[in-house]
Copies of this chain bind each other. A is one copy, B any other.
Amino acid sequence: MPAQSTRDQIVEAADALFYESGLEATSFADIAAAVGISRGNFYHHFKAKDDILEAVIARRMERTRAMLDGWQAEGEGPRERILSFVHMLIANRTQIMDFGCPVGTLCSELAKLDHAAQGRATEIFGLFRDWLAEQMRALGAVDRAEMLALHLLAWSQGVAVMATAFKDEAFIRNEVAGIERWLASLPDFSQST
């Protein structure tokens, strides 16, 4: 296997630390220690802390795009694709109960910090929104596609926040079951309107 470049190691470590500890609570020393390099070293790779955040967001966007493309290429119908999205809540339940949703919590933290990268972080949500809207359109809900996509995104975010607060796995499964019922009722809804 090709050895991972130091730069990539930094971005990967920063990505995990930003998720698990938050952006503000993660210091350069933490990242350097996680990678195993000296603190002064990575000013050769990143001019400032904001540059690392920028790289982390870019990495997350890339990986999100790859994940969505993967679901798209699996050849199943739009309903199955949406289910792939929804089932992330169960697949990642342990991390979600510990740290919340990586996208939602980052956007919230950047909003409070009034950070310049806020818009770029929101673009990750935009990827999900656009992909989900495309699936909704494929289901026949052309007019309400974007509205339905945002609704499903919000529902998932709400589940993540409450799961983090209450550490309740049964709640996650209940809500996912509710989403599945809602999803099953969607085609009828789009036909009747």
Contact = CB atoms under 8 A, between A and B. Distances in A.
Given A21-B113, A113-B22, A113-B25, A108 B154 contact: no
Interface string A15-32: 000001110110000000
Interface stretch (A5-13, A64-72, A145-153): A145-153
Contact of A164 (B100, B111, B150, B174): B111
A151 B175 contact: yes
A46 interface: no
A36 interface: no
Interface in A70-122: 98-100, 104-105, 107-109, 111-113, 121-122
Nearest to A146: B171
A187 interface: no
Nearest to A107: B165
A158 interface: yes
B154 A158 contact: yes
Copies of this subunit: 2
A157 interface: yes
Nearest to A103: B165
Given A112-B25, A112-B105, A174-B147, A162 B157 contact: yes
List the 10 closest A-B pairs by CB distance, nearest first: A158-B158, A154-B158, A107-B165, A157-B161, A157-B158, A24-B24, A22-B112, A154-B162, A122-B165, A104-B161
14 contacts: A21-B112, A24-B24, A24-B25, A25-B113, A104-B108, A108-B161, A111-B164, A125-B162, A125-B165, A151-B178, A154-B161, A155-B155, A156-B158, A158-B159
Interface of A: 20-22, 24-25, 98-100, 104-105, 107-109, 111-113, 121-122, 125, 147, 150-151, 153-159, 161-162, 164-166, 171, 174-175, 178
